Amino acid sequence: MRKLAAVLVLMLLVLPLTGCLDSGDAEPSVVARQCYPEIYRPTCEISDIQQNGLPAVDIQYEHAGGRMDNVSVGDMVFLTYQVFLHNVASFEGTAHCLVDGRELSPRDRQHRYLPTDGGQNEALGLPALTTEQRTLNNDAVYTFRWPYRFAGYGVYSIECYIEDGNGTRHANISRTVSVDYAATDDDRWGLVIGADPVDNEIAAWKDGVMAFDTLYTHYGIPRDNILYLSNGCATRSNVTAAMDWLSGHTGQASRLVFWISGHGGIEWWGDDDREPRDGTIQIWDGVLYDGDIASFFADTGSMNILSVVDTCYSGEFGGPDDLESVANLFSDDPNMEEDGRVLVTASTTFNRAIATEDGGILTMLMAGALQGITDRGDDTADFNDDGVITAEEAATWAVLHINLQLRYGFAQMNDCHQGDLTLTQ
């Protein structure tokens, strides 16, 4: 038995650590415990256009490490807590994990942090979910996982412990961790938002993956320069904090991609500008208004913005039929339609956008165009054959392939940018 205990302890100690390993000096029944993040990042394969006029989409997650210094905003993280018990009688225990005082759910049935139903984890390349309730026996290692995403840069507190039937806590770990921004001289930035509110999912999480993969994998924008807010991370407070953070890091020469997908709507006098008919985008706990996005763009100071809005009635977010600039003629309110922007919308101000189980049609075609997929005529979005697909070319290609189909809605592109807007470094 002593040899078995020694082997189990050694196995636990050699697993990836982040400084969250405690010895059991204060609790003789606990030999070792640790808490660390398992990080997963999505990749996406978008095929050439198929017979139905759309590409096929395949999404997988890949393991990206197990150290806190490798975590970026929006990464799919499984907070992993392991404990080895020795010299203790068996008992029924419940594992708990709290981040900043908020208790996490290992099943995450509302998909606050998971991309979708946890039953799809294996197919997506994510680890299996664990239960928080176990019978804990002597001389055994137990592993618990909680899905989580860090929604911004900064300091977080993490606490993990096991509670027995009497309410006694065992193997407690309390740590303060930091998600830090690694600065580079690359002046390209991204804000990607895909929110599937509870009981109203439309696979917007897939749109977020396609957008993220396009910017990170295909265009090489530094990971820490992309703020990726999915599902429960896309609260109004988190989105506005991300906008403020980006505005503090960008300037006139910066290139910024704003890509959002979800449910869209119309509200009369919804925000504070003079336009009576305001566009809305549903996020996790409320809505974003067209005025919110216009203010964000103005605050960045950037003259090189690509905006992709894949929602119903998204023409309100800078489409050619958006009346915001007219309504604001006699005010200082910022407009979506300002110089230095390429504005792409999945619909007009009066019609709905179309989505499939693979995601929004605009996102599928726009991301595919930027990645260089071909249509049925074997043509890419590189219209001038110079080897570079600009934002304008990709938008034109995507909009044409939507509108010529008729059944896929009516998308729009509003080019307010002088010259070509490229995403390559």
d(CA 148, CA 155): 15
pLDDT at 325: 60
Taking residue 156's Cβ as centre, other Cβ atoms within 10 Å add up to 17
pLDDT at 211: 98
Could you identify the residue written with the tokens 């997650």? 61
Q: Which of 345, 261, 242, 237 is nearest to 299 (CA)?
A: 242
pLDDT at 19: 38
d(CA 146, CA 220): 30
pTM for the full model? 0.92
Residue 69 gets which letter from DSSP? G
Six-digit token string for 331 = 């005010």
Mean pLDDT, 10 residues at a time, the chain of 425 residues = 44 41 47 88 98 97 96 98 87 96 96 94 96 91 97 98 93 95 97 88 94 98 98 97 98 98 92 82 94 96 98 94 66 87 96 94 98 97 98 98 93 97 96
Q: Which amino acid is at 363?
A: T
What are the chain's domains? 2-49+61-179 (2.60.40.10), 188-415 (3.40.50.1460)
Taking residue 1's Cβ as centre, other Cβ atoms within 10 Å add up to 8
Composition of the chain by helix, strand, coil, percent to 5: 25, 30, 45
Contact 348, 39 (CB under 8 A): no
Maximum distance among all alpha carbons in the chain?
82
pLDDT at 29: 60
pLDDT at 21: 40
